[in-house]
Amino acid sequence: MVNRRWWDVVAFGVAAVTVLIGVFQPPYARAEIGSWVVAGVFLIVYVAYLRARVGREDARHHVAITAVLSAILATGIAFDAQFANMLAFAYPFVWITAASTRQAIWGNIAIAGAVLVGTMVFFGWSDVSAALGIAILSLGFSLALGLWMTHIAGIAEENARLLAELRAAQGELAAMHRDAGAVEERGRMAREIHDTIAQSLTGLVMVAQRAGNRLAPSALVRGAPAGPAHDDDRVTGRDLEAARADVALIEEMARDALTEARGLVAAVSPVAVETTLADALHRLAAAFERETGVRVTVHADAPGLGRELEVVLLRTAQEGLANVRKHANAGNAWIDVGRPRTGHVRLVVRDDGVGPGDGGPGQSGGFGLAGIRDRVSLVGGHVAFGADPDGGALLEIEVPAPDVEAPPPEASATEAPHPPTKPDGAAR
C-alpha cells in the first residue's frame, strides 16, 4: 500500500484515537497531557519527514525511520499505555519502507523493543513479564502479517511478470501469423499472376512474333527490283489475311489480360469498414457485370456476422466470380448467402456456364480455390466445389457463425430476387 492519502488517514486516525481516549477519561493528568504532546510531535514528524518516504525503499532512511518511530512509541507509551494504538501505524510503515525483508524484520524488532521499554516505564519494573508478553505478542502478529503480505506481493509481482511475458508472446505470435499470412498471400498472388497475366503476355509475344515474321518479306520487297528472283519474297494476300488475324488475336488476348488484371485487383482490394456484406456483394456483382457482361443475381440474408466472417465471405465470392470469368463462359451467375442451420452461415456461388465435368476447371480447382480453402479453414469452415445438377459450376462454403437476434432485413429496391432455379434457355 503506497498511496499517501491512505497513510494520511491512518496517521491522523491513530493520533486522533489516542487523543480522544484521554479526552473521555477526565480528570486530565500528566500522563494524558504527555501522550497528547507526543501524538502532536508524531503528526509533525509524519508531515515533515515520514510522509515523503512512502513508496520509497532506502536502507539509510529506513534506519532513521525506525529510530524516530521507536523513540516516539517508547516516550508515548511511557506516558500512557493507550499510546500503543500507534503500533497500527508503526509496524506496517516499517514494512513498506524497508529495502528488504530482513531489514523489515529488524525494524519490527526495534519497534517491539520500544514497546517493551515504554511499557516497563509505565507499569514499573515489577511487571516485566507483562511488558515482555505485550512486546512479543505484537511483534509476532506484525511479523506474521508482514511476511504474509510480502509473500502475496511477491506472487503478484510474479504474476505481473508472467502476464507481461504472455502478452509479449501473444504479440510475437500475432506478428508471426501476420507475416505467415502475408507470405502465403504473396505466394498465391504470384501463382495467380503466373497462371493468368504472365501466360497471356507470353501468348501475346508469340503471336506478335508470328505476325512480324509473316510481314517480314515486305522489308525485302521495298528495296529490291521487281523480277522473278524476288517473287518468293513478296507478301501475298494470304500472308496479309493471316497477319490481320494475328493482330485481332493480339487485341483479344490483351483484353483478356486486362480483364484478368482487373479481377486480381478486385480480389485484393480492401473492404470498406462502413459497408455491410450485402452492399459489398451488390457492388461486386455490378462491377463484374459491367466488366464481363455476365448477369449476377445476389441474395444475402445473414445479418449480425462478425467482421472477420464478412471478409471471408466477400473474398470467397470474389474468387468464385473470378472462376466464372476464367472458365465458365456463362451468361448468368448467382450469389446466395444465408443460414441453413443454427450457428452456421453458407455462401453459394453458381453459374450456368461450362461445369467442371464439361471442360471447365477440374474438381480440385486452381490456385484461387486453394486460397479459398485456406481462408475458410482458418475460421473453422469447409468448402465444396463441383458441377451444379442444373449445369455449370457450384462453389459452396459453410462456416460457423453465432446466431443473433436481429430484425428481418428491409426489402431493397436494388436487390434482385433469388431465383429458385436457373432460367430456361440459360447459356451453357
CB contact burial 371-404 (16+ within 10 A = b; e otherwise): bbbebbeebebebebebbeebbbbbbbbbebeee
Cell of 96: 513498506
383 pLDDT tier (thresholds 50, 70, 90): very high
Cell of 94: 516499517
CATH (residue range 272-428): 3.30.565.10
Three-state secondary structure call for residue 359: coil
Cβ partners under 8 Å of residue 69, min gap 6: 90, 93, 94, 111, 114
Q: In the chain, where are the structural domains located?
A: 4-123, 272-428
pTM beyond cutoff 0.85 = no
Cβ partners under 8 Å of residue 259, min gap 6: 291, 292, 325
- Look up cell 493471316; give the residue: 242
CB contact burial 77-90 (16+ within 10 A = b; e otherwise): bbbbbbbbbbbebb
Identity of the residue numbered 40: G
Q: To the nearest whole percent, how much of the chain has pLDDT over 70? A: 80
8 Å CB contact between 107 and 47: no
Which of 341-350, 351-360, 398-407 tops mean pLDDT?
Answer: 341-350
pLDDT score of 392: 86
**Alpha carbons 228 and 374: distance in angstroms, whole number:** 67
Q: CA angle at residue 153 from 150 to 158, to 5 degrees?
A: 125
Residue 91 has pLDDT above 80, yes or no: yes
296 pLDDT tier (thresholds 50, 70, 90): very high
333 pLDDT tier (thresholds 50, 70, 90): very high
Three-state secondary structure call for residue 383: strand
410 pLDDT tier (thresholds 50, 70, 90): very low
What region, left, alpha or beta, does residue 383 occupy, with left being phi > 0 and alpha being psi -120 to 50 degrees? beta
8 Å CB contact between 264 and 196: yes
Q: Higher-confidence residue: 25 or 314?
A: 314
Cell of 292: 464481363
Using one digit for the tens of pLDDT, what is the confidence trace for 202-225? 777 888 888 788 777 554 444 445
What residues pair up with 350 in beta bridges, in sequence order?
334, 394
pLDDT score of 16: 87
pLDDT score of 195: 62
